[in-house]
Structure 1
């Protein structure tokens, strides 16, 4: 079986609102007030909690690596308490997932969000059972851009790691697919959409309606 593996943040769903809210909660605890804004920092929000915390601290001239590490678990706790307040699936995302499954592809997720938080978010959004696999940042000893999480997501979705495609929104996803020797499709509607063409993926995705045909063109029919 051929499989389609999705990144989560910035690819399937816009999670930036809840991520920024959790980061700003941390910054308020530090005494800096709300440091990050959706207008300036949506792209940063989907690159990981530590990077987001570091980015905000640098903005206010208070960067300290130890402060980032101290607040990382605090961030995760705060984020987990309000993980689906502002988050939503991009238009057509779930319809594309169902179309791919109907065509015979295995469908899974490979994300650098901790597995427990990814599972919680998908469950809260009522979509966990739509995906045959879920590999998070801490599922294996390594994370993207190491290719093994992508390969494992393909295997757990019932497919061959050599016959999958990764749908993502970042250089991390592009590099993961390249390391695995499989194609990548990068979305242009996520927070970093304007930068995706420069990464030279095998395809760009402007709307989820176009995904089933792109997948077929890149890796062939499902079986």
Structure 2
């Protein structure tokens, strides 16, 4: 694990944030007289961002609205979500123990998320996870975001790491596509918010619990150089 850079997605990978995201979506739609949407109904849309969750909610209610109205609903979503970002959201079981172990073993840890940077940092801080990461790259940290490979490359660079010793850990097709484009191995988490069974997306390894991640990473990092240019 020495000199490896482990790049984690946030929602659905490190944190089960669906309850608070669903609450924000329902708040955004609450002035349209639509029935509340169960969180599980929105699970597969989380990886595509708040706007997609709102559009899905509208579709479920049989509504199609112009972009300007969706922008208004997105503003309502964000106004509610930011102060309530960690009311029900929690790290997945085993996350803290695993991350602390990787750091002690010499790995650099980074977050690469399509969540806005300010929201990502606030969520990590609220859950006392912020001190574990050398870098956090949000959707607005660079001109591009996942699945563009430069989002991952930028996160690795921010963490002071080496792409040749980097691994992506994520839960959706966006994470896997970004890792493939960046030519790094990828671990898929089957407990997240993928819109398709994670196995069908063909990550290098699939895990069902953070207790399985150490062995998976050691397998993927075998044969990669321990040092190199950053």
Residue 131 (structure 1) aligned with residue 133 (structure 2): yes
Counterpart check, 1:52 vs 2:53: yes
The number of residues matched between the two structures is 222
- For 1:190 and 1:211, locate their aligned partners in 2 and report how far apart those are by CA, in whole Å: 15
Per mean C-alpha deviation after superposition, the further-off stretch among 49-58 and 189-198 is 189-198
Moved more, 66-75 or 93-102: 66-75
SS at match of 2:167: strand
> Which residue does the alignment assign to 2:112?
110
Unaligned runs of at least 5 residues, structure 1: none
Q: Give secondary structure in 2 for the equivalent of 1:85.
A: coil
Match of 1:142, SS state, is: coil
Q: CA deviation at 1:162?
A: 2.9
Aligned counterparts, 1:1-223, within 5 A: 1-34=3-36, 36-66=37-67, 67-192=69-194, 195-220=197-222
Q: Distance in 2 between matches of 1:81 and 1:130?
A: 23
Task: Give a deviation string over 1:163-210, Cα, whole Å, max 9, x none.
Answer: 211000000000000000001101011233871000001110111111
Give the alignment's TM-score, normalised by structure 2: 0.92
Asked if structure 1 preserves the Cα contact closer than 8 Å seen for 2:15 and 2:92, the reply is yes
Distance 1:193 1:38, change over 3 A: same
Shift of 1:118: 0.4
* Runs of at least 5 residues in structure 2 that lack an aligned partner in the other structure: none
| Structure 2 residue matching 1:4: 3-state secondary structure | strand
Aligned partners of 1:84 and 1:120: how far apart in 2?
A: 9
Are 2:27 and 2:76, in contact at CA under 8 Å, matched by a contact in 1?
no
C-alpha RMSD over aligned residues: 1.6
List per-residue Cα deviations over 1:13-59 (Å, max 9, x = no partner). 1000000000000111223242x212322222343101100101011
